[in-house]
C-alpha cells in the first residue's frame, strides 16, 4: 500500500511538471529588448518629467509584460523568446499625432501614388524637386502630355509639390487663377476632368472636374449648407481644401483609395507614429479605413472625429445627434471614433485690433458669431451636441474670439444638461492648432473646464504664424502656441503634424524641434518665452497625446499591461545638441507588439528582414 502511494504521488508530481511546462512557456515573453535607455513616461503629471528610465522591456502578444533592469527582464526569457541587444539606444513610447490629415496627404506622396495608381486608373503626374518658378514654367508641357495620354473622360491630376525642403507653397498657390487659370485648363482638356494640387492646401479645377463632382453628389448638392465646392471655386476653379471631396469621392475608385491609405499608414509608421488622429471628411475615406481595419491591415492606429459641415444642420436632428454621440469610443484598438467637430472650424476672428483700417476690414466674422445667420446655426448645432453628451474634438481653430464663443456654448449647454464642472472635465473637450489662441486670460478657464489643446508647431516652422500676426500689435505673439504658459497652468497640450511630410525631408522631429526652439525654416525665433523643454515636448507627443485620444490607460507610456507601442532611435534625443534633433532617425517602430517599420542597418543587426513602406518604396530610411 505504501509502495502504491509513493508511485501514485510520484506520478501526480510528474504529471504536474509536464502540464506546467507548456504553461510556463506560454507565459514567457515573445520579445525582449535589453541594454537600452528606455524612457517610460510613467510620470503622468502635466510637467517635463519623463518618468523612470529603465534598461529593458518584455513584450507578449500586443502588450507590455514587464519593464525593468536588464537582469530582471532577461530572467523572464523562455525558449521561444527573441531577445535583442539595443546597445544603449534610446527607446520611447510611440508618437501620437493628435491632428493630421493622412487621407489628404497620401495622394501627394509620389512614392505611394506611383505604387498604387497606373495610367489605366487615372493620370497622375508630379513636379517635385524643382524650384517653384521652374515648376510653373514646366507645367504647360506636362499638362499637354498628361491630357494626350488620358482617355476621354479620364481624370488627370498634376501635383506641384513644395520640394524636399518644403518651400514654394505661396508661389504655387499665387499662380492659381492667374498663370494657371480655369480657362487654360478648359482649353487644354475639354473632355477630361482636371485637378491641379499644390503641395499643401490649394487646388485648381477645370469645368469638367466641377461638373463631374456636382454630378456625383446629385440631388444632395442643393441640400448642402456649405457645398463641397463653393461659388468661388465654381466660377474661377480656384479652391483651398475641396480636393478632398473631389479626390476621395469622385476621382479615386474605392479600391484604389483603400490601397493608397493602407500603404500610407505604413508610411506614417516610418516617422515613429503609433497614432495619427484625423477628422474623416468623406464617406469614401471612412469606408477605406473601416475596410483596412476589418482586414487587420492597420499599421498604426487612427482615432477619428466626425466632420461634415456641409450638413451641420444634421446635429439639429435628435436621432442623428444621438447616433453620432453614441458612436464615440466605438471601434477597434486601431480605428475608433473619439469625438465630433459638429459644425465646422473657427476662423481668425480675434479680440486684437489690427494695425491698419485695411487689415481690420479684412477680419472675418466669427464662425460662432451670434450676429450672423451662419453663426447662429453653428451655435445651435454645437449647443445641442454638447447638451446631448457629445465630446467636442478635432476642430481647427485660429482666432481667440471664437474660443470665447466655444467655451461659452460648451459651458452653457453642459449646465443646461445638468452637468457639474467635474462632469464637464470628464468629457475632456479639445480643440486644435492654437494658431492665434488662447489669450493669457483664457488659460485659467481652460484649466478649470478640463479642456485639452492640440498644437501644430509647423505653423511656426513655415513662417505662417509670423505672417498671421504681422498686422497686429506685438502682444499677438503671446497668442501663438503658448505651450509654456499652458503647461505652467496645468493644461495638457499634444502635438500635431497637419502637413504632407511624405515627399519632404522633414520628419516628426522637425515638429518637436520647432516646439523646443520656436524657430522657423530660416532660424528666426517667435516668442521664445513660450518654448518648452525637449522633455516636455516628448511628453506632449506621447503621454499627453494618449490623454487627448482618451486612451491613457492603454497607450502613451511604457508600463506593464499597456499596448506595446514603442520606437527605437539612432541617437539620444534627450542629450544631443538641440539643433541635432531634426536629424534623429527612427530605426524601428513597434505597434501592438508588431514591427511595422525597421531600417536595414538594425534589421541586419537583429537578423531579421527590414520592413515598412518608407523602406520598401525607396524613401530615405531605405538607406539607413
What's the per-residue H, E or C state across 30-86? Answer: CEEEECCEEECCCCCCCCCCCCCEECEEEEECCEEEEEECHHHHHCCCCCCCEEEEC
pLDDT value of residue 10: 47
Residue 96 is predicted with a pLDDT of: 99
Please give the Cα distance from 94 to 543 (Å, whole number).
10
- Each residue's pLDDT tens digit, 286-325: 999 999 999 999 999 999 999 999 999 999 999 999 999 9
The three cell numbers of residue 352 are: 486684437
- pLDDT for the residue 347: 87
Per the omega criterion (within 30 degrees of 0), is the bond before 438 cis? yes
CA distances 330 to 219, 254, 389, 413, 540, Å, are: 31, 23, 15, 24, 25
Q: pLDDT tens digits, residue range 201-221?
A: 999 999 999 999 999 999 999
Q: What digits encode the pLDDT tens for the residues 278-292? A: 999 999 999 999 999
The helix or strand, by DSSP H or E, that contains position 569, with its residue range, turns out to be: strand 566-569
pLDDT at 2: 46
In whole angstroms, what is the distance from residue 141 CA to residue 411 CA?
A: 57
pLDDT at 15: 44
SS3 at position 205: strand
* Distance in angstroms (rounded) separating the CA atoms of residues 607 and 623: 17
Instruction: Tell me if the pTM is above 0.85.
Output: yes
* Cα first-last separation, the chain: 72
Domains 2-94+575-623 and 335-564 equal at CATH topology level: no
d(CA 438, CA 461): 19
How far, in Å, CA of 277 to CA of 186, rounded?
A: 37
Q: What is the pLDDT of residue 296?
A: 98
Listing DSSP states for 95-145 in one string gives EEEEEE-HHHHGGG-HHHHHHH--TTT-EEEEE-SS-HHHHHHHHHHHHHH
Closest CA to 122 of 257, 307, 283: 257
| Residue positions counted in the chain | 624
Superfamily of domain 335-564, CATH level 4:
Metal-dependent hydrolases (3.20.20.140)
In sequence order, what are the residues at sequence separation of 6 or more whose Cβ sits closer than 8 angstroms to the Cβ of residue 202?
Answer: 169, 172, 173, 176, 239, 240
The pLDDT assigned to 465 comes to: 93
pLDDT at 446: 99
**Can you tell me which residue has the cell 444634421?**
314
Mean pLDDT per 10-residue segment, the chain (624 residues): 47 45 65 99 98 99 99 98 99 98 98 99 97 98 99 99 97 98 98 99 99 97 96 97 98 99 99 98 98 99 97 96 97 98 93 91 93 96 98 96 98 98 98 97 98 97 93 94 99 98 98 98 97 99 99 99 99 99 99 99 98 99 98
Long-range contacts: 385-389, Cβ < 8 Å, 24+?
385/315, 385/321, 385/324, 385/325, 385/340, 385/342, 385/343, 385/413, 386/410, 386/413, 386/414, 386/417, 387/413, 387/414, 387/416, 387/417, 388/318, 388/321, 388/322, 388/325, 388/417, 389/325, 389/417
Delimit the domains of the chain by residue range.
2-94+575-623, 122-252, 335-564
Task: Give the CATH number of domain 2-94+575-623.
Answer: 2.30.40.10
Give the pLDDT score at 359: 86
Amino acid at each position: 500500500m505504501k509502495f502504491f502511494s509513493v508511485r501514485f504521488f510520484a506520478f501526480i508530481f510528474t504529471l504536474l511538471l509536464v502540464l506546467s511546462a507548456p504553461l510556463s512557456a506560454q507565459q514567457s515573453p515573445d520579445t525582449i529588448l535589453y541594454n537600452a535607455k528606455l524612457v517610460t513616461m510613467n510620470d503622468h503629471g502635466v510637467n517635463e518629467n519623463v518618468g523612470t528610465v529603465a534598461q529593458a522591456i518584455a513584450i507578449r502578444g500586443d502588450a507590455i509584460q514587464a519593464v525593468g533592469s536588464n537582469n530582471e527582464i532577461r530572467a523572464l526569457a523562455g525558449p521561444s523568446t527573441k531577445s535583442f541587444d539595443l546597445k544603449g539606444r534610446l527607446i520611447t513610447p510611440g508618437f501620437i499625432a493628435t491632428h493630421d490629415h493622412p487621407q489628404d496627404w497620401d495622394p501627394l506622396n509620389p512614392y505611394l501614388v506611383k505604387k498604387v495608381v497606373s495610367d489605366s486608373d487615372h493620370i497622375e503626374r508630379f513636379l517635385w524637386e524643382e524650384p517653384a518658378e521652374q515648376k510653373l514654367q514646366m507645367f504647360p508641357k506636362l499638362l499637354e502630355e498628361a491630357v494626350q495620354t488620358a482617355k476621354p473622360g479620364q481624370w488627370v491630376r498634376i501635383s506641384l509639390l513644395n520640394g524636399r525642403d518644403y518651400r514654394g507653397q505661396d508661389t504655387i498657390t499665387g499662380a492659381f487663377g492667374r498663370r494657371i487659370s480655369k480657362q487654360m485648363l478648359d482649353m487644354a482638356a475639354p473632355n477630361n476632368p482636371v485637378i491641379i494640387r499644390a503641395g499643401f492646401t490649394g487646388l485648381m479645377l477645370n469645368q469638367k472636374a466641377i461638373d463631374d463632382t456636382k454630378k456625383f453628389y446629385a440631388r444632395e448638392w442643393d441640400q448642402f449648407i456649405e457645398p463641397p465646392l463653393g461659388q468661388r471655386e465654381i466660377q474661377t476653379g480656384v479652391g483651398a481644401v475641396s480636393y478632398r471631396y473631389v479626390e476621395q469621392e469622385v476621382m479615386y475608385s474605392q479600391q484604389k483609395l483603400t490601397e493608397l491609405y493602407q500603404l500610407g499608414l505604413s508610411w506614417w509608421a516610418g516617422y515613429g507614429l503609433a497614432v495619427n488622429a484625423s477628422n474623416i471628411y468623406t464617406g469614401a475615406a471612412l469606408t477605406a479605413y473601416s475596410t483596412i481595419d476589418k482586414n487587420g491591415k492597420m499599421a498604426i492606429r487612427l482615432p477619428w472625429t466626425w466632420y461634415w459641415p456641409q450638413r451641420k444642420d444634421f446635429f439639429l436632428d435628435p436621432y442623428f445627434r444621438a447616433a453620432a454621440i453614441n458612436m464615440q469610443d466605438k471601434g477597434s484598438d486601431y480605428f475608433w471614433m473619439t469625438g465630433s467637430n459638429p459644425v465646422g472650424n473657427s476662423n481668425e476672428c480675434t479680440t486684437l485690433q489690427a494695425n491698419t483700417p485695411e487689415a481690420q476690414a479684412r477680419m472675418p466674422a466669427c464662425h460662432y458669431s451670434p450676429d450672423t445667420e451662419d453663426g447662429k446655426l453653428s451655435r445651435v448645432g454645437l449647443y445641442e451636441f454638447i447638451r446631448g453628451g457629445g465630446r467636442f474634438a478635432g476642430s481647427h481653430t485660429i482666432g481667440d474670439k471664437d474660443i470665447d464663443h466655444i467655451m461659452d456654448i460648451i459651458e452653457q449647454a453642459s449646465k443646461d444638461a445638468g452637468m457639474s464642472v467635474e462632469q464637464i472635465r470628464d468629457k475632456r473637450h479639445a480643440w486644435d492648432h492654437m494658431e492665434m489662441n488662447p489669450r493669457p486670460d483664457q488659460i485659467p478657464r481652460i484649466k478649470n473646464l478640463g479642456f485639452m489643446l492640440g498644437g501644430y508647431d509647423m505653423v511656426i516652422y513655415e513662417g505662417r504664424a509670423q505672417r498671421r500676426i504681422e498686422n497686429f500689435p506685438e502682444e499677438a505673439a503671446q497668442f501663438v502656441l503658448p505651450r509654456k504658459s499652458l503647461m505652467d497652468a496645468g493644461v495638457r497640450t499634444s502635438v500635431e503634424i497637419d502637413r504632407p511630410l511624405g515627399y519632404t525631408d522633414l520628419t516628426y522631429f522637425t515638429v518637436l524641434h520647432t516646439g523646443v526652439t520656436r524657430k522657423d525654416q530660416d532660424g528666426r525665433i517667435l516668442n521664445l518665452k513660450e518654448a518648452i523643454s525637449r522633455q516636455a515636448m516628448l511628453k506632449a507627443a506621447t503621454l499627453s497625446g494618449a490623454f487627448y485620444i482618451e486612451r491613457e490607460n492603454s497607450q502613451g507610456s511604457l508600463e506593464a499591461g499597456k499596448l506595446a507601442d514603442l520606437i527605437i532611435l539612432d541617437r539620444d534625443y534627450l542629450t544631443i545638441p538641440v539643433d541635432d534633433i531634426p536629424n534623429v532617425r527612427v530605426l524601428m517602430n513597434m505597434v501592438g507588439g508588431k514591427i511595422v517599420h525597421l531600417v536595414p542597418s538594425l534589421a541586419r543587426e537583429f537578423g531579421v528582414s527590414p520592413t515598412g513602406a518608407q523602406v520598401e518604396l525607396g524613401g530615405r530610411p531605405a538607406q539607413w
